[in-house]
């Protein structure tokens, strides 16, 4: 069962607002955004999590060693300060969601004991790649710190864990920040031993599903194993056996999964009439009468797609050559025996699996390699952008998806499987820089 612990967080000392110092998780930071964040402040956490590469970089004198040196310097000069006592850190995020609604999501930042995936306590839902895993491992080696939390979810229908710490949210926060994605963050410290024990008890029988941060968690596992090989006598509760996590209930009102849509371009000979003829073998095709050039028409089309959420595999296809929108629904009697689909029923039930396997690879001839390299494929999060760009001729077609239901994410993870890339989009991200956790292999969590 997962074990959580308070820890002595390292936080920015520049007053209650730390807006200029935070950064998104490294893997969503574009080169342009990295430069913007770096210019915003010489103490922005991006200088630690994703320092710029230099032509002169070499092992021992590179962006990882610079991050480690900066972390030490910032602590020495007081830019960063270690909190005096171990604590848990409740977090509240207020934001306008992609659907236009204002939402509030609450989480708890804590040190969480590491578990191998095979133990079935911490569950992944996406694959990790070798290069980013090696990148994050080297950063942990050099800095000996968790600079950015892993975001993990747990089941809690009655919201027992956050109820146990609800009093913390009534006090003044120790830190606030506003990030570029329009999210207002408020952070608290929770030291009361009785409350800490209460929330630990509420989480003791939960499984944790990694929502974001698979490479950071994999790096933490690799660092733990590496240190144990080097020194088998390290304490059983040494700090290298824990990782910084932001824990959020799947049942929190602000915990919503959003879809990522697909754009196709530069496919030779792509004509909607030909594509529709092929699609008709496997899908029912309904051409929508509403004019999707207008916002009301787009909203209606997306709502029509939403009627199929969790019931059947369906997509909203918008094509540039005839300016039409169509609902594609997988036929119950469709014979998919010859299609490149996984054997797992959990994976075959995912809309993204059907779209990529049946439509993209099976019917349009896009190889898995071309899809992975995005030769003819682009991902966008905003449905309006996807439609606008298609109607403007920037791409040949857009495929809009419903969000993957949480129960499908759980089913895939608990069966030991991983979902295709871009299956889920969790908004907002947990930024780096709210609180940092130092790793002492001979010290407490």
In a domain, 251, yes or no: yes
Backbone angles phi, psi at 199, to 5 degrees: -70, -35
pLDDT, tens digit (0-9, with 9 covering 90-100), for 354-390: 999 999 999 999 999 999 889 999 999 999 999 999 9
pLDDT of residue 49: 98
141 with 28, same domain: the answer is yes
Place of tokens 């992944």: 124
312 with 182, same domain: the answer is no
231 with 262, same domain: the answer is no
In a domain, 388, yes or no: yes
Angle (nearest 5°) at CA 323 between 321 and 324: 115
164 with 204, same domain: the answer is yes
49 with 183, same domain: the answer is yes
In a domain, 119, yes or no: yes
232 with 293, same domain: the answer is no
pLDDT of residue 100: 83
pLDDT, tens digit (0-9, with 9 covering 90-100), for 46-63: 999 999 999 999 988 999
355 with 376, same domain: the answer is yes
DSSP 358: I
The total number of structural domains that make up the chain: 2
In a domain, 443, yes or no: no
Cβ proximity of 183 and 107 under 8 Å: no
DSSP 34: H
In a domain, 444, yes or no: no
**Distance from C-alpha of 92 to C-alpha of 105, rounded to nearest angstrom:** 6
In a domain, 61, yes or no: yes
Structure tokens at 203: 């989480």
CATH number for the domain harbouring residue 350: 3.30.1760.10
269 with 236, same domain: the answer is no
Instruction: Give the residue from 44, 51, 11, 50 showing the smallest Cα distance to 28.
Output: 50
286 with 314, same domain: the answer is yes
Task: With cut-offs at 50, 70 and 90, classify the pLDDT of residue 415.
Answer: confident
**Distance from C-alpha of 209 to C-alpha of 121, rounded to nearest angstrom:** 8
pLDDT above 70 covers a percentage of the chain that reads 100
pLDDT, tens digit (0-9, with 9 covering 90-100), for 87-135: 999 999 999 988 788 999 999 999 999 999 999 999 998 888 899 999 9
23 with 149, same domain: the answer is yes
In a domain, 58, yes or no: yes
* Higher-confidence position of 45 and 427: 45
Angle (nearest 5°) at CA 263 between 407 and 278: 85
In a domain, 201, yes or no: yes
241 with 212, same domain: the answer is yes
341 with 432, same domain: the answer is no
Q: Is the pLDDT of residue 15 over 90?
A: no
Using CA atoms, how far residue 80 sits from 45, 110, 337, in Å, is: 11, 19, 58
Cβ proximity of 162 and 257 under 8 Å: no
Give me the domain span that covers residue 374.
258-423
Helix (H), strand (E), coil (C) string for 246-295: EEEECCCCCCCEECCEEEECCCCCCCHHHHHHHHCCCEEEEECCCCCCCH
């Amino acid at each position: 069962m997962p074990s959580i612990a308070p820890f002595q967080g390292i936080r920015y000392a520049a007053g209650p607002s730390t807006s200029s110092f935070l950064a998104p998780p490294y893997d969503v930071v574009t080169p342009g955004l990295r430069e913007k964040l770096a210019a915003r402040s010489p103490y922005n956490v991006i200088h630690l999590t994703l320092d710029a590469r230099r032509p002169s970089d070499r092992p021992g004198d590179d962006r990882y060693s610079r991050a480690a040196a900066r972390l030490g310097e910032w602590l020495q000069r007081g830019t960063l300060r270690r909190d005096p006592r171990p604590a848990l850190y409740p977090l509240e995020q207020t934001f306008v969601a992609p659907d236009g609604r204002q939402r509030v999501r609450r989480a708890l930042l804590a040190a969480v004991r590491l578990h191998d995936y095979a133990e079935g306590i911490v569950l992944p839902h996406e694959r990790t790649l070798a290069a980013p895993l090696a990148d994050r491992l080297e950063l942990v080696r050099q800095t000996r710190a968790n600079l950015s939390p892993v975001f993990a979810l747990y089941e809690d229908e009655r919201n027992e864990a956050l109820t146990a710490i609800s009093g913390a949210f009534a006090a003044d926060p120790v830190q606030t920040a506003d990030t570029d994605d329009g999210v207002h963050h408020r952070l608290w410290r929770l030291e009361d031993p009785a409350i800490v024990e209460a929330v630990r008890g509420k989480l003791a029988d939960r499984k944790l599903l990694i929502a974001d941060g698979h490479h950071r968690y994999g790096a933490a596992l690799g660092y733990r194993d590496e240190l144990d090989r080097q020194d088998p006598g390290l304490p059983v509760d040494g700090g290298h056996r824990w990782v910084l996590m932001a824990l959020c209930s799947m049942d929190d009102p602000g915990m919503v999964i959003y879809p990522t849509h697909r754009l196709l371009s530069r496919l030779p000979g792509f004509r909607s009439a030909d594509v529709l003829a092929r699609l008709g073998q496997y899908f029912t095709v309904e051409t929508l009468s509403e004019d999707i050039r207008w916002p009301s028409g787009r909203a209606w089309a997306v709502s029509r797609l939403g009627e199929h959420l969790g019931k059947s595999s369906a997509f909203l296809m918008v094509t540039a050559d005839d300016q039409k929108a169509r609902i594609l629904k997988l036929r119950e009697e469709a014979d998919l025996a010859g299609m490149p689909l996984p054997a797992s029923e959990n994976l075959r039930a995912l809309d993204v699996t059907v779209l990529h396997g049946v439509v993209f690879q099976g019917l349009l001839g896009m190889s898995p390699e071309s899809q992975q390299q995005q030769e003819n494929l682009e991902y966008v999060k905003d449905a309006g952008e996807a439609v606008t760009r298609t109607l403007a001729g920037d791409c040949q077609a857009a495929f809009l998806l419903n969000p993957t239901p949480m129960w499908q994410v759980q089913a895939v993870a608990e069966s030991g499987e991983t979902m295709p890339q871009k299956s889920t989009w969790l908004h907002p991200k947990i930024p780096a820089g709210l609180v940092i956790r130092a790793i002492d292999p001979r010290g407490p969590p």
